[in-house]
Amino acid sequence: MKKILSLLIVLTLFTSAIFAAGQQGGAGYPARPVTCIVPYAPGGGSDTLVRAVMRSINLPNNQSMVAVNIDGAAGLTGGMRAFNSSSDGYTIMTHNTLDLVTYYLSGRDTIPIINEGTTIALMVNDYNVISTNRIAAAEYGWRTIEDVVAWARANPNTRIRWGASGSMQSDNMISTVRLVRELGIEDNVNFILYEGGTPVRTASMANEVNISMNTASELPGVIASGDNIPLLVIHTQRIPTLPNVPSTMEKGINVTMSKPRGFYGPRGMDPEHVRILENALREVSNDPEFRDSMSQLGFDVNFIDSATARQMANQWIEELRPFFQN
């Protein structure tokens, strides 16, 4: 009798352990809200994306996603916080993939997030836009990028104050330096760096900078108000939200780069948790209301699954590596 009782106890414990494991890896996840770290200040492209996803996402067990902004070090502070979080699936982050690539190539992150972290999915493409502001446009007569170039060459002793977000080794600065070189005005520009897109936009409105680089998703409001005058999109073609603004490729300028934004997690996440989040984000990306709202905000919805996103990151690493070796 004692042997039978002992066997029943063992079987009960074993069954409970299997059930608990199944709950953790599958049907039980998520059992509470999933925190998404936004590694930039509120109001930027990544922040806008997460808050739109929060309104649309349908997670199992009627759970939600909540956003926490942790800015600093041009997105690296929040990125490292998420990377070093527990791998239980309850802390993830949004990020611009090319920022993660440049952290790695520049050696800024001691542990390469892009290689050792968990890629969940990419959601949207954003695009860098070169703009001037109302004050500079009125003072210097800038309405096109050709106006800026002509003015710079006619005023060689006056430097253009050019604002961008990130560090000197961020993808924003790589794009900016490549662009001014192609335009032939590298010696006519002083670069001023800010922690994120929102401070750049604010500095532009105050004419602290004459020219600025922001993403398309950060500009609809200031363009509509007339505080911002877009001059050029760094892309292969014009984008739907700025149909009257030429692209670099259209102008024969050999600089093009999109900004894919998506979701990442700590290293070692349970593949089943990744699958659940990936499927929920895919469902959001197919929601017509979400796609429409993203389009109005300047995003191009382009869902890319975890495995493909990792392959693309490796391709970007090889493409950009020469810029960090020179």
The residue extents of the domains of the chain are 34-126+259-325, 127-233
- Residue 245: what pLDDT? 97
How far apart are the C-alpha atoms of 233 and 142, rounded to whole Å? 16
pLDDT (average), residues 208-225: 92
Q: What are 64-83's pLDDT values in tens digits?
A: 999 999 988 878 999 999 99
Write the CATH number of the domain with boundaries 34-126+259-325: 3.40.190.150
- Looking at the predicted structure, is the pLDDT value of residue 157 above 60? yes
How far apart are the C-alpha atoms of 207 and 51, rounded to whole Å? 29
How far apart are the C-alpha atoms of 11 and 4, rounded to whole Å? 10
- Looking at the predicted structure, is the pLDDT value of residue 198 above 70? yes
Question: Which residue type does 316 have?
Answer: W
- Residue 124: what pLDDT? 95
- Residue 168: what pLDDT? 62
The CATH homologous superfamily for domain 127-233 is Osmoprotection protein (prox); domain 2 (3.40.190.120)
pLDDT range class, residue 27, cuts 50, 70, 90:
low
One fold for 34-126+259-325 and 127-233:
yes
Q: What are 229-280's pLDDT values in tens digits?
A: 999 999 999 988 899 999 999 999 999 877 899 999 999 999 999 999 999 9
Give the rounded distance of the alpha carbon of 64 from its chain centre.
21
- Looking at the predicted structure, is the pLDDT value of residue 326 above 80? no
Q: Categorise residue 321: left if φ over 0, alpha if ψ from -120 to 50, beta otherwise.
A: alpha
For residue 202, what are its two tokens? 């604010």
pLDDT range class, residue 161, cuts 50, 70, 90:
very high
- Residue 26: what pLDDT? 54
How far apart are the C-alpha atoms of 166 and 99, rounded to whole Å? 9
How far apart are the C-alpha atoms of 102 and 81, rounded to whole Å? 18
DSSP letter for each residue of 190-255: EEEEESSHHHHHHHHHTTSSSEEEEEGGG-HHHHHHTSEEEEEE-SSS--TT-TTS-BTTTTT---
- 3 state DSSP class of 302: strand
- Residue 229: what pLDDT? 97
Instruction: Indicate the pTM of the whole model.
Output: 0.77
- Looking at the predicted structure, is the pLDDT value of residue 13 above 50? no
- Looking at the predicted structure, is the pLDDT value of residue 12 above 70? no
- Residue 240: what pLDDT? 84
- Looking at the predicted structure, is the pLDDT value of residue 287 above 80? yes
